[in-house]
Amino acid sequence: MPNGSHGQNAGAGALLAILRDGRARTRAELAELTGLSRSTVSQRLDGLIAQHWVVAGEGSISSGGRPAAVFAFNEGARVVLAADLGATHARLAVVDLGLTVLAERAMELPVDRGPERTLERVVTAFRELLAADGPDPAHVCGVGVGLPGPVEHASGRPVNPPLMPGWDGFPVPEWLGERLAVPPAGPEAGPEAGPEVARVPVDRVLVDNDVNMMALGEHWAAGPAVDHLIFIKMGTGIGCGIITGGRLHRGAQGAAGDVGHVRVPASDAPCRCGNSGCLEAVAGGASMAAVLREAGIEARGGRDVVALMRAGDLRATRLVRQAGREVGTVMASIVNFFNPSVIVIGGDIAEAGEQVLAGVRETIYSRSLPLATQHLAIRASELRDRAGVVGAALMVVEDVLAPDAIDRAVT
Amino acid sequence: MPNGSHGQNAGAGALLAILRDGRARTRAELAELTGLSRSTVSQRLDGLIAQHWVVAGEGSISSGGRPAAVFAFNEGARVVLAADLGATHARLAVVDLGLTVLAERAMELPVDRGPERTLERVVTAFRELLAADGPDPAHVCGVGVGLPGPVEHASGRPVNPPLMPGWDGFPVPEWLGERLAVPPAGPEAGPEAGPEVARVPVDRVLVDNDVNMMALGEHWAAGPAVDHLIFIKMGTGIGCGIITGGRLHRGAQGAAGDVGHVRVPASDAPCRCGNSGCLEAVAGGASMAAVLREAGIEARGGRDVVALMRAGDLRATRLVRQAGREVGTVMASIVNFFNPSVIVIGGDIAEAGEQVLAGVRETIYSRSLPLATQHLAIRASELRDRAGVVGAALMVVEDVLAPDAIDRAVT
């Protein structure tokens, strides 16, 4: 057992944890909050300042009349590269330690072409973002990736992901870490890329399921007062991310939140999983588009269905509303079971706004217990398209700024 | 912010936390595990020994050839009074810090007579248990109570409990604490009670929902390797207790686990809640007994249904098996959502054993996703009738032995 788990003075990491609330503080305040002596506080602050985690400034006039030095968390000390890969689209971002998105890019990127072709494009796009927007590659402290399938969190490897042929067991963290660290080969190595983005050495690549990342992002946006949150992604497929006691609940096999294949009553619609009557088969974007195509209306996926609804197509509107009701029916049992304080609806179908929310609310409020719904908020995603990259960045930031990790970095 | 949350040396509480694994250890081992000096370890051990939390003995021969003193957690240092109140029956126990039941009593105790009449009998029974079985009342370090309804955990007060008229908002912890602390009045004060059990001063009375307590108890019995456990009580009503990451998930209003009124497909059986088609209305003990009574068979509740099944009554057997299937149908969605590693079935109906388990397993395995069920264990309660009192005692023990609390007690 390492010493840290039982016996430890408040180290540099604990000081930084206090400063992360965004308030600048004096040495005296920090000594009071930690129980450390002022000289120890000063010594630890020196270590944090030397590595740019903390910046010093002049604060308000202290009681003695002289301005006291104040210390603040430096959100710009490092950046994180975050990628949110969906089945067909990806969003990439450079994010600072305060979760501000400094640069981002959305692009078509179908994951069914296999891990190497997909991740090669991610690496190139990360290099371009760094070159174009200027953060020093040496300031990259980690990479966070969300993937559209089950991921073994500890290893960051996909586990039998149904939409991702060729990805099963692929070592995403190792592959990305190695590829980012070496200079790009071939035409990419030309003068356009610039030598300053040639190498991005990172020792921390964390990978998880995309819906878990979105739940983390939305929970951060909702604020720390929200303890129990369920994020529902309504896109091509349907899945949940679950926050309990402020932390992600991944489940025994990391499969928690996989509600897309729950059977809904009174449906025998065939599902791509091989069964019938699954929630996705009636409320997934792909299924709704297929229903419209059968009626002779052109629709490739959920985004088209929502676009048709916005254009006033009644069949699309009815489908979206009914999709909300079907999701609400499944969630009604889960609300009784889990008693969340907030349910956030995101994904392409959530862009339908009130049409889909009304269906979800209607069934949850009529079928769940009053005690579980009296303070329950059911709302659309705040971060929308950015929920995944913010969550992926947060996963990395929490790892980088964990007090133990900072204690080791600042000695 | 108190000092303890950021800056603290390993205190007496941290030493005790190490020793709670049941292994006796030397000063050298404890110094190694905590990073403290041997002299500091000795000083803290002295404080723990003075208050009987730790006992010293002679261990094996050390490398130097002389026997080294070893120190062990003293499970008998204190006792907890634990009560598990069901709708009509109660179980009371005196439990030590290692969760060994030292004395116990089961009795008929309908909670619908109101809090004072019910709790007066609990107080009397606790006094009798202490008098008969000898633990010194001064060693009682707390009281843990499970109640058959929703409880606001922070205050220990029932919140609109449907089966408990007169209990809404009743200050159970204060009432019990005061009543136990004063000598009994009236005939109880006679020579039978004995002066040594007249007063039981406790400053720690913790109250929670009975199913949560059972889940805590079963999780303790399952061992710390089980991270995500769902306990299902199948009794008069049906409810769940939920463990995630080793901790109880109570939900936003403390209402988590309330699955008894989830609607099941293809049923319109009237439920006592006023709706129809609820899980309890088809799989609850009271409903099954009512079905048998309609067929002219005498059955007052779930226990009678199980007794009839054991006696070979086919209608009772079919009802129990079907109840398992109905519970399994509701749990199938929840397994996809929550991905537990273990589901434990307890309560009166669980005494039907394989007949009910087979129904639960049949539907969960056919309707949940393979990834979520491949390592899922679905089994009957290990602690059976004792799950509630063990869990209620554990809730108190964790509070008593929390490192901060021990640090304050041992100075």
What are the C-alpha distances in Å from B80 to residues B50, B135, B351?
20, 10, 27
Report the C-alpha gap between B94 and B81 in whole angstroms: 5
Q: What is the DSSP letter of B264?
A: P
Report the C-alpha gap between B38 and B41 in whole angstroms: 5
Tokens standing for B336?
């996809």
Domain-located, residue B211 = no
Report the C-alpha gap between B273 and A79 in whole angstroms: 54
- The reply to whether residue B334 touches residue A333, judged by beta carbons under 8 angstroms, is yes
Phi-psi region of A277 (alpha: psi -120 to 50; beta: other; left: phi over 0): left
**Helix, strand, coil shares, percent, chain B, to 5:** 45, 20, 35
Pair B254, B189 in one domain: no
Question: Residue type for B55, please?
Answer: V
Structural domain count, chain B: 3
Other C-beta atoms lying within 10 Å of the C-beta of residue A188: 15
Which of A339, A342, A367 is most worth mutating to test chain B (most B CB atoms within 10 A of its CB)?
A339
CATH number at residue A179: 3.30.420.40
More confident residue, A388 or B22: A388
Report the C-alpha gap between B238 and B259 in whole angstroms: 7
What integer pLDDT is reported at residue A358 of this predicted model?
95
What integer pLDDT is reported at residue B184 of this predicted model?
66
A-B contacts (CB, under 8 Å): 175
Pair A122, A143 in one domain: yes
The domain boundary residue, chosen from A54, A74, A94: A74
The domain boundary residue, chosen from B74, B94, B123: B74
- The reply to whether residue A340 touches residue B251, judged by beta carbons under 8 angstroms, is yes
- State whether residue B372 is helix, strand or coil: helix
Pair A229, A340 in one domain: yes
Are the C-beta atoms of residues A341 and A228 closer than 8 Å to each other?
yes
Residues of B in contact with A227 (CB under 8 A): 252
**Segment A308-322, tens digit of pLDDT:** 999 999 999 999 999
CATH number at residue A41: 1.10.10.10
pLDDT higher than threshold 90 for residue A65: no
Residues of A in contact with B159 (CB under 8 A): 371
Report the C-alpha gap between B291 and B134 in whole angstroms: 47
In a structure prediction context, what are the per-residue pLDDT tens digits for chain B, which is 411 residues long? 333 333 345 789 989 999 998 888 999 999 988 888 888 899 999 999 999 999 998 766 556 666 788 999 999 999 999 999 998 899 999 999 999 999 999 999 999 999 999 999 999 999 999 887 677 888 899 999 999 988 988 899 998 888 899 999 999 999 999 999 877 665 554 445 444 455 777 889 999 999 999 999 999 999 989 999 999 999 988 999 999 999 999 999 888 999 999 988 888 888 888 888 999 999 999 999 999 999 999 999 999 999 999 999 999 999 999 999 999 999 999 999 999 999 999 999 999 999 999 999 999 998 888 888 889 999 999 999 999 999 999 999 999 999 888 988 887
What is the CA angle B286-B289-B293, rounded to 5?
135
Residue B383: enclosing H or E segment and its boundaries? none
> Which residues are within 8 A (CB) of B43 and not within 5 positions of it... i.e. 6 or more apart?
none
- State whether residue B274 is helix, strand or coil: coil
Domain-located, residue B208 = no
| Average pLDDT over every residue of A162-174 | 94
Question: Residue type for B377, please?
Answer: A
Tell me the shortest Cα–Cα distance from B257 to chain A, in angstroms: 4
Pair A239, A339 in one domain: yes
Residues of A in contact with B215 (CB under 8 A): none
What is the percent of chain A where pLDDT is above 90? Answer: 68
Report the C-alpha gap between A206 and A170 in whole angstroms: 14
**Segment A77-117, tens digit of pLDDT:** 999 999 999 988 999 999 999 999 999 999 999 999 999 99
β pairing state of A25-26 and A67-73: antiparallel
Please state the length of chain B: 411
Tokens standing for A299?
């629709």
Report the C-alpha gap between A48 and B136 in whole angstroms: 54
Name the packing angle between helices A387-400 and A210-222 (round to 10°). 80
Pair A158, A249 in one domain: no
Domain-located, residue B410 = no
Report the C-alpha gap between A411 and A278 in whole angstroms: 54
CA-based nearest residue to A119, from A74, A170, A69, A161: A170
pLDDT higher than threshold 50 for residue A6: no
| Average pLDDT over every residue of A236-250 | 93
Domain-located, residue B38 = yes
Pair B84, B67 in one domain: no
- The reply to whether residue B372 touches residue A338, judged by beta carbons under 8 angstroms, is no
Tokens standing for B309?
């099944």
Domain-located, residue B408 = no
Nearest to B261 among A1, A228, A336 (CB): A336
Tell me the shortest Cα–Cα distance from B211 to chain A, in angstroms: 13
Are the C-beta atoms of residues A341 and A178 closer than 8 Å to each other?
no
Report the C-alpha gap between A230 and A336 in whole angstroms: 13
Which residues face B157 on adjacent strands? Answer: B152
Report the C-alpha gap between B277 and B206 in whole angstroms: 35
Unique residue bearing structure tokens 């991310």: A241
Are the C-beta atoms of residues B17 and B401 closer than 8 Å to each other?
yes
Pair A397, A357 in one domain: no
**How confident is residue A272, by pLDDT bands cut at 50, 70 and 90?**
confident
Range of the domain at A362: 219-380
Domain-located, residue A41 = yes
Report the C-alpha gap between A303 and A352 in whole angstroms: 9
What are the C-alpha distances in Å from A376 to residues A216, B247, B259?
19, 23, 17
Nearest to A251 among B10, B258, B338 (CB): B338
The residue of chain A nearest to residue B1, with distances taken between CA atoms, is A33
For residues B45, B46, B47, B50, the Cα torsion angle rounded to the nearest 10 degrees is 120
Query: Burial level of B82, CB count in 10 A (0-12/13-18/19+)?
Result: buried
- State whether residue B29 is helix, strand or coil: helix
Tokens standing for A20?
């992360």
HEC string for chain A: CCHHHCCECCCHHHHHHHHCCCCCEEHHHHHHHHCCCHHHHHHHHHHHHHCCCEEEEEEEECCCCCEEEEEEECCCCCEEEEEEECCCEEEEEEEECCCCEEEEEEEECCHHHCHHHHHHHHHHHHHHHHHHHCCCHHHEEEEEEEECCCEECCCCEECCCCCCCCCCCCCHHHHHHHHHHCCCCHHHHCCCCCHHHCCCCCCCEEEEEHHHHHHHHHHHHHCCCCCCEEEEEECCCEEEEEEECCEECCCCCCCCCCCCCCECCCCCCECCCCCECEHHHHHCHHHHHHHHHHCCCCCCCHHHHHHHHHCCCHHHHHHHHHHHHHHHHHHHHHHHHHCCCEEEEECHHHHHCHHHHHHHHHHHHHHCCHHHHCCCEEEECCCHHHHHHHHHHHHHHHHHCCHHHHHHHCC
Nearest to B7 among A35, A150, A376 (CB): A35
Which of B327, B339, B342, B378 is most worth mutating to test chain A (most A CB atoms within 10 A of its CB)?
B339
Phi, psi of A157 (to 5 degrees): -105, 135
What is the CA angle B281-B286-B292, rounded to 5?
95
Domain-located, residue A213 = no
Report the C-alpha gap between B199 and B180 in whole angstroms: 6
Please compute Rg for chain A using Cα positions. Answer: 24
| Average pLDDT over every residue of A3-17 | 64
Tokens standing for A206?
């964390």
Tell me the shortest Cα–Cα distance from A265 to chain B, in angstroms: 7
Please compute Rg for chain B using Cα positions. Answer: 24
Report the C-alpha gap between B119 and B186 in whole angstroms: 16
Pair A229, A352 in one domain: yes
Q: What is the DSSP letter of B250?
A: -
The residue of chain A nearest to residue B278, with distances taken between CA atoms, is A367
Unique residue bearing structure tokens 């009975």: B210
Pair B165, B283 in one domain: no
Pair A89, A51 in one domain: no
Pair A374, A237 in one domain: yes
Report the C-alpha gap between B394 and B388 in whole angstroms: 10
Domain-located, residue A409 = no
The domain boundary residue, chosen from B28, B55, B74: B74
Are the C-beta atoms of residues A338 and A228 closer than 8 Å to each other?
yes
- The reply to whether residue A240 touches residue B337, judged by beta carbons under 8 angstroms, is yes
Instruction: Report ipTM for this prediction.
Output: 0.88
Pair A366, A234 in one domain: yes
Other C-beta atoms lying within 10 Å of the C-beta of residue B200: 21
